[in-house]
Amino acid sequence: MSFWQRFLKDKLAVSGLIVVLAFFVLAALAPLLAPQAPDAIDVGATLLPPSAQHLCGTDELGRDVFSRLLYGARISLEVGFVAVGLATLIGVILGALAGYFGGLVDAAIMRLTDIMLCFPSFFLILAVVALLEPSIFNIMAVIGLTSWMGIARLVRAEFLSLKEREFVKAARTMGASHGRIICVHILPNALNPVLVSATLGIAGAVLTESALSFLGIGVQPPAPSWGNILTEGKDTLGVAWWLSLYPGLAILLSVLGYNLLGEGLRDAIDPRLK
């Protein structure tokens, strides 16, 4: 049975893929789907409940919550993919070097990994972001620079196994350079678990960005973010429940979608893990 056949048989994984694609479409079409600009203020329409005119209601400044959610999806996807892309790049490079060369290189990289793992990730991110100017670029960089350790360990383990295979020994015998062996012969065969880890990592990055924005040190207003919409909602929870409900549902569905997709990819890549 092929990879796609195994994946499509998993209804939860397919559901996760549909949710992820739906958020992609909504984010891409935000300028067309949003009834008004996300920062458009209307003092005559403050804290209106959901209606045909405002599908998700309005906030305390009269801004359309549905429009802000659509544009917030763009920020969440951007943070998730850029942060995880950076973490994956660092993790793959360090894991490949540690697994292939071993010895002192492996020891140095793994001790650095152990030191990074000693710090609670979220509090480390909080500390670094608090020292920097809050911005989406700093958030992406900080999340990426503090979440590469798991991928590095995965890649190292794959390299330790693959570098003793016959095809790698044959490449060495034919005089292939270390760079060619790493990039051409071993790395393509070590990327399957990385794909799964990166997919699950996007869900973690979305949660982290939302939490930072909720605490006021993430994406700064008036730029819309699911986290800062939640922050606005907590102050008016008794009279404007929709300000907390809809961004909370967006975060829940997005994270659930990526987790289901990641689990489905893992099972489809290696069905023995089920």
Q: How far apart are CA 252 and CA 218, in angstroms?
A: 19
User: In this structure, what are the phi and psi dihedrals at residue 148, rounded to the nearest 5 degrees?
Assistant: -95, -10
**pLDDT per residue over 193-224, tens digit each?**
899 999 999 999 999 888 888 888 888 888 88
Asked if residue 102 is part of any domain, the answer here is yes
177, two tokens: 């350079």
Report the candidate in 46, 71, 72 with the shortest Cα–Cα distance to residue 59.
46
> Residue 200's domain is classified under what CATH number?
1.10.3720.10
Asked if residue 41 is part of any domain, the answer here is no
Q: Which domain holds residue 240?
A: 3-35+51-273
Cβ atoms of 150 and 197 closer than 8 Å: yes
**pLDDT per residue over 77-96, tens digit each?**
898 899 999 999 999 999 99
What one-letter code names the amino acid at 8?
L
**pLDDT per residue over 38-53, tens digit each?**
988 888 888 899 999 9
Mean pLDDT in residue range 257-265: 93
Count Cα neighbours of 67 within 13 Å in the Cβ-side half-sphere: 19
64, two tokens: 């359309």
Cβ atoms of 190 and 162 closer than 8 Å: yes
Asked if residue 45 is part of any domain, the answer here is no
Q: pLDDT grade, residue 273 (50/70/90)?
A: low
Cβ atoms of 204 and 258 closer than 8 Å: no
Asked if residue 30 is part of any domain, the answer here is yes
- Is the per-residue pLDDT at 112 higher than 80? yes
Mean pLDDT in residue range 54-69: 92
When divided into structural domains, the chain yields a total of 1
Mean pLDDT in residue range 88-113: 95
Asked if residue 230 is part of any domain, the answer here is yes
Residue 80 has a CB neighbour count (10 Å cut-off) of 25
**pLDDT per residue over 157-199, tens digit each?**
999 989 888 888 898 888 889 899 999 889 998 888 899 999 9
**What is the reported pLDDT for 217?**
82
Count Cα neighbours of 268 within 13 Å in the Cβ-side half-sphere: 21
Asked if residue 140 is part of any domain, the answer here is yes
**What is the reported pLDDT for 270?**
72
Q: How far apart are CA 86 and CA 91, in angstroms?
A: 8
Asked if residue 42 is part of any domain, the answer here is no
Percent of the chain with pLDDT over 70: 98
- Is the per-residue pLDDT at 272 higher than 70? no
What SS3 state is found at 58? Answer: strand
Respond yes or no on whether the N-terminal peptide bond of residue 49 is cis (omega within 30° of 0).
no
Asked if residue 43 is part of any domain, the answer here is no
Q: How far apart are CA 103 and CA 210, in angstroms?
A: 40
- Alpha helix segments (H runs only) across 102-135: 103-118, 121-131
> Which residues lie below 8 Å from residue 208, measured CB to CB, with a gap of 6+?
122, 125, 143
- Is the per-residue pLDDT at 274 higher than 70? no
Tell me the average pLDDT of the chain.
Answer: 89
Q: Say which DSSP state 36 is in.
A: S
